[in-house]
Structure 1
Amino acid sequence: MKVVKFGGSSLASATQLEKVLQIVKEDPERRFVVVSAPGKRNEQDTKVTDALIRYYRDYVEENDVTSHQEWIIERYSDMVKELNLKPSIIEKISKSILKLATLPIEDNDFLYDAFLAAGENNNAKLIAAYFNQNGIAARYVHPKEAGMIVSSEPGNAQILPGSYDKIEELANAQEVLVIPGFFGVTQDGQICTFSRGGSDITGSIIAAGVKADLYENFTDVDGIFAAHPGIIAHPHSIPELTYREMRELAYAGFSVLHDEALIPAYRGKIPLVIKNTNNPSHPGTRIVLQHTTQALPVVGIAADSHFTSINMSKYLMNREVGFGRKVLQILEDLNIRWEHMPTGIDDLSLILRDRELTPIKEEEILRQLRQKLEVDHAEIEHGLSIIMIVGENMKSHVGLTATATKALSDHQINIQMISQGSSEVSIMIVINSEQEKAAIKALYQAFFSEVH
């Protein structure tokens, strides 16, 4: 029993939907299909989700929204015509898109989510109709009916634990169930979306709920590569990753799969495979609990920019009881999340994402460090990137850190900080962002030159 999720690029046009139909038809075990909103048909095109955002903005500003409504309806209508579907389906979709402009604006925390979710919701209706008209007994299932009951956190919904009992009942269905991704329904019936990459999260929740044998995530690439193909020409393809390795790579910028989407499938012990809608015969990349084949010591190298470091020094810091807690209390009081904390005996740094800070918060942090904690020196450094060298087998190989530091040194790349967690799944290196691409190239050459 398989849960299959298709991304926006896989559902962007009638041509793409024909590929999706064949993929579902060729394997009767693909019984649950989770869908995104239609993506771009070409570089100049607009995603349906982006069009819905513009529709929402003009609606709340009480501007004329007719052009937005027409464009979105026309986008679905084009697919309905090209696929020779019955006109009743576009009537349902049109009604749904127009109804958005009747929702209350005042005191409606979920209005934005309702607009965004319309892309996935209407696409699921269209795809279920298309399947039925072409030999697949299918049924559209709204997340409420599916049991996707979520917390009341607009834009950051979390599945409620009690939902899984209801979701498990979906396994009894005789038809292929087509479920819109990206959103659930709160206990009081409000549409509430997951965070970015939310359709991946829906697929993972459904897979865990129905206890699927496999969760297939179809996108527009042949799985996951050892480094970003925009930086490395023809990088090594990774046949298998563990969940821990994927979590590290997703955290550091591998955008093929949203890291939050891993959690339900990981907890449900469901293997996951990333596959290509445009090349479905390719085996893709499997994500499993433990390696089933002999893996390289380093499976991938990822990088992410837009990090900031708060650096502080205080003589005899290590002898001061509670110093670390007081530093973290400053951040907590300002509602700031931190990512890493490299330390020395008299030095401490906190790495966090740029978006966590504002100029006012920066000033307040420095003021409190100097006045309350009486540090000798405090500064905030911007323009940093984090590079993650990832592999569960690293712990059984000597000298990998030396290989990494030598590769960077040979290319005159300065290391700001370096850290390896106790689990030894990854080595984290902090560098200046302008050297990020050069660092990726140097490290890839050091670890993967013999793979090709």
Structure 2
Amino acid sequence: MKKVVKFGGTSLADGRQYQKVVDIIKSNSERKVVVVSAPGKRFDDDIKVTDLLIQYAQESQQDGSQTAQTEIITRYQAISDYFQLDAAIFAPILDTILALPDQEFIDPDYRLAYFKAHGEKLNAMLMAMVLQKLGLPARFIDPSQAGLIVSDNANSATVLPETYTNLAQLKYDEEEVLVFPGFFGITPNEQIATFARGGSDITGSIVARGLGISVYENFTDVSSIYVANPKIIDHPAPIAEMTYREMRELSYAGFSVFNDEAIIPAIEGEVTINVKNTNDPQAPGTMIVPEDGFQPQYPITGVTSSNHFSALYLHRYLLNQEVGLTLKLLQIFYKYGISYEHMPSGIDDLTIIFDNRQFNQTTIEQLCQEVQEVLHPDTLKWIDDYSIIMVVGEGMLRQSKAASEAISVLSQKGIPVNMINQGASQISTMIGTSRADADQAVIDIYHHFFKNRKEA
């Protein structure tokens, strides 16, 4: 049985980390498909290669400075030197870096995407070179060669259906190790376009689904996905197994170990994801599995919070009786290109919750003015101080009191709750609090459900 294995930027930051990755690949003959990120940080104050490439793109258009270019070459050269690659073997990587500014682009967005994507592309080329030097029959696979086709959106692309047909037809030797760059694909117009940040996770899922591989090992710098953020909770319990939809719900509000968009191809291909640690590869990690047949051991699988939300609050008597109210709101949102997250309501009140990363102050002011003019609410407030707590677990389907327990805990601790929303799937409860209370809310809910549990 083949496995897809993906390695994040920290796992590939330098030669020593590269050696760990090579050892992991060599330790299991089933690991035949490798997806790599660009080299990440080697230490806390270091710069990721992707950020250096963004700097390179800017410098090459401005003052012609070679600061970033030199540092990028140094980063890849250091890994090459660690494995004692011949200069002639490394030459294509050096030539590619030097030639990046010489290309022609249809617009600035595609220029930036081209530069960014080369962090992964060059690293996949280098990984194939290293594996070949060590005696493994490795081959670099360019997304254009594999037919990994994405939408025409330079820096936030999505995979197109024909990709899976193309990957299914990819010719390769059963003994080969295929090395794919993560993070980018090719548009129908043959331009490079990148996924959102964390997009190498997405590539891993796409490749697993397209090649019909049922196990996707995602190597990171943590040994498990934990039930709560370790920056908030000291030594939180690890999660041994969770479902796709639990991961999606938790990723939405702050879980950052695995890219939430990467779940979609895995769901479609029924691919089991195993999140593991490059620095502790023997640890079992966390399995992310389909819902069918899953038997939850506990009512709650995880609790997390996110502060990137704002809300628009409306109050007007008999608001619920106005026909077409929601349509009017949606037309306003459409006009400004704004999506909303949730819309909890009462008979006289309505709150619309947004991801505030899509706003600037001018847009907020214009939006509020238009809502006032169209709907004439008695009260209209924009609320920036908004955080969402997500309490998630397949076990909530069986133990409905879990949601009320979480809310009761916050009430007992004196934390005000300004919104409660039970997810349609019934495996999550969303709780709105102020940002100042968010971390404490997570702590209190965690201790109520997980304090005496060693594993979730």
Bin for the TM-score computed over the shorter chain: over 0.9
- Cα deviation for residue 70 of structure 1 reads 1.4
- Cα deviation for residue 293 of structure 1 reads 4.5
Distance in 2 separating the partners of 1:43 and 1:107? 34
Please name the residue that 2:269 is paired with.
268
- Cα deviation for residue 451 of structure 1 reads 0.8
Q: Would the aligned equivalents of 1:138 and 1:176 in 2 still touch at CA under 8 Å?
A: yes
Distance in 2 separating the partners of 1:340 and 1:133? 53
Q: Would the aligned equivalents of 1:24 and 1:30 in 2 still touch at CA under 8 Å?
A: yes
Q: Which runs of 4+ in 1 moved over 4 A?
A: none
- Cα deviation for residue 188 of structure 1 reads 2.2
Distance in 2 separating the partners of 1:171 and 1:276? 31
Q: CA RMSD in A?
A: 1.4
Q: Would the aligned equivalents of 1:76 and 1:90 in 2 still touch at CA under 8 Å?
A: no
Please name the residue that 1:378 is paired with.
380
- Cα deviation for residue 411 of structure 1 reads 2.0
Q: How does 1:288-299 map to 2 (within 5 A)?
A: 288-290=289-291, 292-299=294-301
Q: Would the aligned equivalents of 1:306 and 1:385 in 2 still touch at CA under 8 Å?
A: yes
Please name the residue that 2:114 is paired with.
114
For residues 338-374 of structure 1, give each alpha carbon's deviation from its aligned partner in whole angstroms, at most 9, with x where no partner exists. 1111111111110002222222222222222222212
SS at match of 1:372: helix
Q: Would the aligned equivalents of 2:59 and 2:66 in 1 still touch at CA under 8 Å?
A: no
Q: Would the aligned equivalents of 1:89 and 1:126 in 2 still touch at CA under 8 Å?
A: no
For residues 7-63 of structure 1, give each alpha carbon's deviation from its aligned partner in whole angstroms, at most 9, with x where no partner exists. 0001111111111111111111111100000011111221111111111111222x1
Q: How does 1:232-311 map to 2 (within 5 A)?
A: 232-290=233-291, 292-311=294-313
SS at match of 1:153: coil
For residues 134-179 of structure 1, give each alpha carbon's deviation from its aligned partner in whole angstroms, at most 9, with x where no partner exists. 1211001111111101111011111111121111123743311001
Please name the residue that 1:139 is paired with.
139
Please name the residue that 2:401 is paired with.
399
Q: Structure 2: where are the runs of 5+ without partners?
A: none
- Cα deviation for residue 106 of structure 1 reads 7.2
Distance in 1 separating the partners of 2:415 and 2:14? 45
SS at match of 2:274: strand
Distance in 1 separating the partners of 2:294 and 2:374? 53
- Cα deviation for residue 440 of structure 1 reads 0.9
SS at match of 2:118: helix
Q: Would the aligned equivalents of 1:150 and 1:192 in 2 still touch at CA under 8 Å?
A: yes
Distance in 1 separating the partners of 2:70 and 2:136? 30
In structure 2, give the amino acid aligned to 1:380: W
Please name the residue that 1:14 is paired with.
15
* Residues 385 and 108 of structure 1: CA distance in aligned 2, closer, same or farther (over 3 Å): closer
Q: How does 1:202-217 map to 2 (within 5 A)?
A: 202-217=203-218
In structure 1, give the amino acid aligned to 2:168: E
* Residues 419 and 106 of structure 1: CA distance in aligned 2, closer, same or farther (over 3 Å): closer
**What is the TM-score normalised by the length of structure 2?**
0.96
For residues 207-240 of structure 1, give each alpha carbon's deviation from its aligned partner in whole angstroms, at most 9, with x where no partner exists. 0101102011000001200000011000000000
In structure 2, give the amino acid aligned to 1:173: D
Distance in 1 separating the partners of 2:336 and 2:113? 27
Distance in 1 separating the partners of 2:60 and 2:360? 30
Please name the residue that 1:157 is paired with.
157
Q: How does 1:27-106 map to 2 (within 5 A)?
A: 27-61=28-62, 63-104=63-104
For residues 255-287 of structure 1, give each alpha carbon's deviation from its aligned partner in whole angstroms, at most 9, with x where no partner exists. 111111111111111111100010011110000
Q: Would the aligned equivalents of 1:89 and 1:125 in 2 still touch at CA under 8 Å?
A: no
Distance in 2 separating the partners of 1:398 and 1:371? 42
Which of 343, 346, 349 aligns to 1:347? It is 349
Which of 435, 444, 447 aligns to 1:445? It is 447
Residue 218 in 1 paired to residue 216 in 2?
Answer: no
For residues 286-310 of structure 1, give each alpha carbon's deviation from its aligned partner in whole angstroms, at most 9, with x where no partner exists. 0011254443110000111021110
Distance in 2 separating the partners of 1:433 and 1:241? 28
In structure 1, give the amino acid aligned to 2:129: A
Report the number of matched residues. 451
Please name the residue that 1:363 is paired with.
365
Distance in 1 separating the partners of 2:341 and 2:420? 14
Distance in 2 separating the partners of 1:287 and 1:106? 40
Residue 432 in 1 paired to residue 446 in 2?
Answer: no
Please name the residue that 2:130 is paired with.
130
SS at match of 1:389: strand
In structure 1, give the amino acid aligned to 2:424: S
SS at match of 2:32: strand
Distance in 1 separating the partners of 2:173 and 2:427? 40
Q: Would the aligned equivalents of 1:404 and 1:443 in 2 still touch at CA under 8 Å?
A: yes
SS at match of 2:309: strand
In structure 1, give the amino acid aligned to 2:282: S
Please name the residue that 1:2 is paired with.
3
SS at match of 2:362: helix
- Cα deviation for residue 105 of structure 1 reads 6.2
* Residues 244 and 52 of structure 1: CA distance in aligned 2, closer, same or farther (over 3 Å): same
Distance in 1 separating the partners of 2:401 and 2:352? 27
- Cα deviation for residue 321 of structure 1 reads 1.1
Q: Would the aligned equivalents of 1:171 and 1:210 in 2 still touch at CA under 8 Å?
A: no
Q: Would the aligned equivalents of 2:128 and 2:139 in 1 still touch at CA under 8 Å?
A: yes
Please name the residue that 1:228 is paired with.
229
SS at match of 2:219: strand
* Residues 171 and 415 of structure 1: CA distance in aligned 2, closer, same or farther (over 3 Å): farther
Distance in 2 separating the partners of 1:14 and 1:248? 36
SS at match of 2:395: helix
Please name the residue that 1:417 is paired with.
419
Q: Would the aligned equivalents of 1:236 and 1:451 in 2 still touch at CA under 8 Å?
A: yes
- Cα deviation for residue 108 of structure 1 reads 4.7
Distance in 2 separating the partners of 1:48 and 1:295? 42
